[in-house]
């Protein structure tokens, strides 16, 4: 009897250890299978409220890249003003401590380096983004392509984790009927578990674009005049 109860008490930890080992093996294999997978092709994952969201899985990467498209009734300057970042628009978006590190604007070029803190839901903490952004409007088509790259080495570190991998491309094309075609390609590692990031971004895009449309209706954006952007 005693030896049976001793056997049972030794068996339980062994079962737990075996289960944990099996889980560890399954999770590890799943990670490497996911990482190696991918077609490098855009796939539609959401089509809602006039916003089309696509994802792309590249072999070797655990994070998905995303692309979102929509058409908006707005001026080109208003759209670019909303996208390019400014102290006057910082509070309209989710980041905090928005700072302009340097900025140059001429009729042919806009270039700026910013830092902003992005507060994530607990327990993910706050992430800092230091990025360089520039655009030069195409003089013929009037299309504006905003290139955004992470610049984590640009300024000394703070006591907040800083994003190292960010390369977004925003394209705003005037359509001549008072509308602009608005496309965002997002490729970023926010330092959160990739399965979490990959699952929440499509919904976030739809919400963020809806928010952008509302902002574009306000006077601050409707009346924006930019030296570096000419209307069609």
Partner 1 sequence: MNSAVELTKEKPRTTFKYGRMSVVVIVIAIISAHFIWKSSGTSEWKIVKDENGMKIESMKIPGDVLLKYKLNMRVKAPLSDLVFYMTDINTGRDLGAIDVKRLEHVVAPPVVISYDTYKIDLGSPIGLREVVILNQYSQDPVTKVVNINILAAPNELPPNDTVTRLVHLSNHWTYTPLENGEVNVQLISDMDLRLPYLLSNLVFPKVMYDTTDQMRILLKTAKFQNKHVDYVTELN
User: Which residues are near partner 1 by CB under 8 A?
Assistant: 21, 38, 40, 56, 58-60, 65, 104, 106, 108-109, 111, 132, 134, 136, 147, 149-154, 157, 159, 161-162, 164-165, 167-169, 185, 187, 189, 191
Give the Cα separation of 143 and 172 in Å (integer). Answer: 6
- Do 206 and 49 form a contact (C-beta atoms < 8 A)? yes
CB nearer to partner 1: pick between 120 and 169: 169
Measured from the CB of residue 179, what is the shortest distance to partner 1 in angstroms? 25
Nearer to partner 1, 58 or 90 (CB): 58
User: Is residue 39 within 8 Å of 143, Cβ to Cβ?
Assistant: no
With respect to partner 1, which residue has the nearer C-beta, 116 or 150?
A: 150
Closest approach of partner 1 to the CB of residue 58, in Å: 5
Q: Please choose, from the candidates 90, 111, 110, 109, the residue with its C-alpha nearest in 3D space to the C-alpha of residue 99.
A: 90
CA distance 27 to 20: 10
Per the listing, tokens 């970023």 go with: 188
Nearer residue to partner 1 within complex by CB, 2 or 14: 14
Contacts 24+ apart (CB under 8 A), 126-132: 126/160, 126/161, 127/160, 127/161, 127/162, 127/163, 127/190, 127/191, 128/158, 128/160, 128/161, 128/162, 128/163, 129/95, 129/162, 129/163, 129/166, 130/101, 130/154, 130/155, 130/162, 130/163, 131/163, 131/166
Q: What is the Cα–Cα distance from 43 to 40, expressed in whole angstroms?
A: 9
Give min distance, CB of 188 to partner 1, in A.
Answer: 10
Least Å distance, CB 223 to partner 1, is: 26
The residues pairing with 73 across neighbouring beta strands, listed in sequence order, are 179
Q: Indicate the residue among 88 and 141 with the shorter CB distance to partner 1.
A: 141
Name the residue nearer to partner 1 (CB basis): 92 or 149.
149
For the bound state, the minimum distance from the C-beta of residue 186 to partner 1, rounded and expressed in Å, comes to 9
In whole angstroms, the minimum distance from the beta carbon of 63 to partner 1 comes to 9
């Amino acid at each position: 009897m005693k030896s049976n109860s001793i056997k049972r008490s030794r068996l339980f930890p062994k079962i737990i250890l075996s289960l944990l080992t099996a889980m560890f093996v399954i999770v590890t294999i799943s990670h490497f299978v996911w990482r190696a997978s991918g077609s490098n092709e855009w796939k539609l994952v959401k089509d809602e409220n006039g916003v089309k969201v696509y994802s792309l899985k590249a072999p070797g990467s655990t994070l998905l890249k995303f692309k979102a498209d929509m058409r908006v009734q707005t001026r080109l300057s208003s759209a670019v003003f909303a996208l390019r970042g400014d102290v006057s628009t910082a509070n309209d978006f989710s980041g905090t401590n928005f700072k302009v590190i340097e900025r140059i604007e001429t009729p042919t070029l806009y270039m700026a380096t910013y830092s902003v803190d992005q507060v994530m839901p607990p327990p993910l903490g706050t992430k800092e983004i230091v990025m360089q952004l520039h655009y030069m409007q195409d003089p013929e088509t009037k299309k504006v392509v905003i290139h955004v790259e992470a610049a984590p080495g640009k300024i000394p570190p703070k006591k907040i984790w800083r994003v190292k991998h960010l390369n977004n491309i925003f394209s705003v094309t005037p359509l001549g009927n008072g509308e602009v075609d608005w496309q965002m390609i997002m490729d970023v590692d926010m330092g959160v578990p990739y399965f979490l990031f990959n699952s929440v971004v499509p919904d976030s895009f739809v919400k963020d674009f809806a928010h952008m449309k509302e902002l574009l209706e306000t006077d601050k954006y409707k009346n924006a005049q930019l030296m570096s952007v000419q209307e069609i």
